[in-house]
Amino acid sequence: MAKIFVVANQKGGVGKTTTTVNLAAALARHGRRALLVDLDPQGNATMGSGIDKRTLQRSVYQVLIGMSDVVEATQWSEGGRYAVLPANRELAGAEVELVDFEERETRLKDALAQVDAQYDFVLIDCPPSLSLLTLNGFCAAHGVIIPMQCEYFALEGLSDLVNTIKKVHANFNTALQIIGLLRVMYDPRVTLAQQVSAQLEQHFGDKVFRTIIPRNVRLAEAPSYGLPGLVFDPYSKGARAYLDFGAELIDRVRSLDEAQRTARHAAEAREQ
């Protein structure tokens, strides 16, 4: 069964797409079968995976409105070694068109059921909003990964995001949990970055991933070559950090699964 994670933060430009693309490449490097779902009409994750968003025959848009299944619309990222369900600006129309559909929040979840056995991980890149598209991501996922820049306004939007996740958990998807907060674009020379980073650890404890992604220009250059940074310059600091993050996530998933199993056994034992 695939673990489905959504990479979300309604703030723009905080490193969602960079994280999704490089995490997919990292998981592939660690021998896992990964599918990246681009749920943003900007199509940055699509382009950053080396797939031209301007020439798509099918995309996640057709999947959401029921005109294609996931297998038909999926392409392969040669550089990244992972599968991609791509997007382009057509997807912006889905926001409006889906309003007339029944169960419009779970369109993506239902579609992904088809490929559940085919992948170890599905990673969903969200647009910078708490829109119906992001809601489809939340309803489809087991967990949320929140990339954050350690700056003054970073914490401001976090409570809105956490409240939205709580509402989705209560109303649509009881499996949904926050897997962790990932510090990205980190510059250790900036005192404020150190302070915010320490605050995050204080507030969120082990919900903060140990791995920190540094600010690294190679990660920013890679998309223009249609490659994840991890492939573009594997020895760069940024690439190594995302490779470590992939390993940390695999570990975290394993311990979450074990904790769930233990809880289930305890509940069964109580019933007997």
Residue that is written with structure tokens 């709580």 in the block: 166
Quick check: 183 binds ligand ATP (CB under 6 A)?
no
Residue of the chain from 219, 230, 239, 243 that contacts ligand ATP (CB under 6 A): 219
Closest to ligand ATP by CB, 115 vs 122, is 122
Q: Which stretch in 60-68, 74-82, 89-97, 214-222 sits in contact with ligand ATP by CB under 6 A?
A: 214-222
Closest to ligand ATP by CB, 12 vs 188, is 12
Quick check: 83 binds ligand ATP (CB under 6 A)?
no
- Rounded to a whole number of angstroms, the minimum distance from the CB of residue 148 to ligand ATP is 10
Closest to Mg ion by CB, 12 vs 66, is 12
Quick check: 220 binds ligand ATP (CB under 6 A)?
yes
The separation between CA 52 and the C-alpha centre of its own chain, rounded to angstroms, equals 20
Closest to ligand ATP by CB, 27 vs 115, is 27
- Rounded to a whole number of angstroms, the minimum distance from the CB of residue 13 to ligand ATP is 4
C-alpha to C-alpha distances, 28 to 72, 234, 247, nearest whole angstrom: 21, 13, 11
Burial (CB < 10 A; 0-12, 13-18, 19+), residue 101, is middle
The residue ranges that bind Mg ion (CB under 5 A) are 16-17, 44
Site for ligand ATP in 236-255 (CB under 6 A): 238
Closest to ligand ATP by CB, 17 vs 68, is 17
Quick check: 115 binds ligand ATP (CB under 6 A)?
no
Which of Mg ion, ligand ATP, none binds 14 (CB below 5-8 Å, type-dependent)?
A: ligand ATP
Closest to ligand ATP by CB, 115 vs 184, is 184
- Rounded to a whole number of angstroms, the minimum distance from the CB of residue 6 to ligand ATP is 13
Q: Name the residues that contact ligand ATP, by CB under 6 A.
A: 12-18, 40, 42, 44, 128, 184-185, 213, 215-216, 219-220, 238
